[in-house]
Amino acid sequence: MSDPQLQTLIKRANGVLAQLEAWLPPAPPAMDWSAHAYRWQRRGARGWLEAIHRIAPIQLADLQHVDRQKAVLERNTLAFLQGKPANNVLMTGARGTGKSSLVRALLAAHAQRGMRLIEIDKSDLGDLGQIIDLISGRPERYIIFCDDLSFEEGEASYKALKSALDGSVAAPGENVLIYATSNRRHLMPEYMHENLQAQHQPDGEIHPGETVEEKISLSERFGLWLSFYPFGQQDYLDIVAHWLGVHGCPPEHAEAARAEALQWALERGSRSGRVARQFARDWAARHV
């Protein structure tokens, strides 16, 4: 083969390699252990912890009318940070009542004590073992947090979560806890026919009651359950008044905004803390 032919082949091979590299997922960035929060990212077969340096600001004092839940969760978290026994936590209940905000507020309050937060999507729960291996041996204390956790029929990722919580031969690590929020107490849909244990099902299931037990067992592997409830009208108005103050409104604005705040909640069909905060932003933008 002559030199010109060889050079042509090399040029073509380099072109093919360049096209292949364009289709490959990017190499994960170098690990940054200086951040207080991380997000688990996955591209193809590669997964890594993406450092988050700008965290949405919220304080424990900003969360109103969830005092019992706040106290229990902070007690559990402080025990974990001090190396004492602590539980994985499942927070369930009404939307917009501060479940995920409470976790972020704990990070703001206790990051200097070594608390770190790792956000993971439900679809990536199969990577829990990889994440735990990655942070094993680190001096910080990590909360792996999954927001809006629920599973539909046929999803298999819940099995990975079950093993990580309590069921794997490998120990999860003393510097790791799992916190999750959900609108479903048992995380998976349940059907009336599943409770009719004496009736044979069309799919041939002989012991349908055991299906119910399997679904409930996932929730039971969280050692601590916290329930959040819808706010009453006065609670909602108290939260509105708090956020109006945060946004610089004088105290008299709380009374002036009362009727409009109730109308705002009525239009959205919810008196949640999230709706109260959204109204306070709108009011402050128009009156401050």
Which CATH number goes with the domain that contains 176?
3.40.50.300
pLDDT average, residue stretch 177-190 = 72
Examine residue 27 and state whether it is found in any structural domain, yes or no. no
Burial of 34 per CB tally in 10 Å (0-12, 13-18, 19+):
exposed
Examine residue 8 and state whether it is found in any structural domain, yes or no. no
Examine residue 265 and state whether it is found in any structural domain, yes or no. yes
Query: Looking at the structure, do residues 237 and 124 belong to the same domain, yes or no?
Result: no
pLDDT average, residue stretch 182-188 = 64
Q: Which residues contact 216 (CB under 8 A, 6 or more apart)?
A: 186
Q: Is the pLDDT of residue 219 over 80?
A: no
Query: Looking at the structure, do residues 211 and 275 belong to the same domain, yes or no?
Result: no
Query: Looking at the structure, do residues 162 and 258 belong to the same domain, yes or no?
Result: no
Examine residue 14 and state whether it is found in any structural domain, yes or no. no
Query: Looking at the structure, do residues 166 and 243 belong to the same domain, yes or no?
Result: no
Checking phi first, is residue 204 left (phi over 0); if not, alpha (psi -120 to 50) or beta? Answer: left
Examine residue 16 and state whether it is found in any structural domain, yes or no. no
pLDDT average, residue stretch 122-129 = 86
Amino acid at 261: A
- Position 21 confidence tier, pLDDT thresholds 50, 70, 90: low
Domain that holds residue 260: 233-287
Query: Looking at the structure, do residues 218 and 262 belong to the same domain, yes or no?
Result: no
CA 191 distance to own-chain centroid: 26
Torsion of CA 73, 75, 81, 86, to 10 degrees: -80
User: Are β-strands 141-146 and 115-119 bridged in parallel, bridged antiparallel, or unpaired?
Assistant: parallel
pLDDT at position 220 is: 78
Query: Looking at the structure, do residues 243 and 186 belong to the same domain, yes or no?
Result: no
- Position 182 confidence tier, pLDDT thresholds 50, 70, 90: confident
pLDDT at position 169 is: 45
- Position 271 confidence tier, pLDDT thresholds 50, 70, 90: very high
Q: pTM for the whole thing?
A: 0.79
Radius of gyration of the chain measured on its C-alpha atoms: 25
CA distance 249 to 6: 76
Examine residue 48 and state whether it is found in any structural domain, yes or no. yes
What percent of the chain has a predicted confidence (pLDDT) above 70? 77
Residue among 247, 273, 281 at smallest CA distance from 65: 273
CB atoms within 10 A of CB 148: 14
pLDDT at position 16 is: 72
Amino acid at 224: L
Averaged pLDDT of the chain: 83
Q: Is the pLDDT of residue 209 over 70?
A: no
pLDDT average, residue stretch 173-202 = 65
- Counting the structural domains of the chain, the total is 2
What percent of the chain has a predicted confidence (pLDDT) above 90? 53
Q: Which residue has the higher pLDDT, 182 or 286?
A: 286
CA distance 204 to 47: 39
**Can you tell me whether residue 281 is helix, strand or coil?**
helix
Query: Looking at the structure, do residues 276 and 207 belong to the same domain, yes or no?
Result: no
pLDDT at position 74 is: 97
Examine residue 23 and state whether it is found in any structural domain, yes or no. no
Residue with structure tokens 């990577």?
127
Checking phi first, is residue 93 left (phi over 0); if not, alpha (psi -120 to 50) or beta? Answer: left
pLDDT average, residue stretch 96-114 = 94
- Are 88 and 222 a contacting pair, CB within 8 Å? yes
pLDDT at position 192 is: 46
- Position 194 confidence tier, pLDDT thresholds 50, 70, 90: very low
Q: Tell me, what DSSP letter sits at residue 43? A: E
User: Are β-strands 37-43 and 46-52 bridged in parallel, bridged antiparallel, or unpaired?
Assistant: antiparallel
- Position 59 confidence tier, pLDDT thresholds 50, 70, 90: very high
Query: Looking at the structure, do residues 113 and 169 belong to the same domain, yes or no?
Result: yes
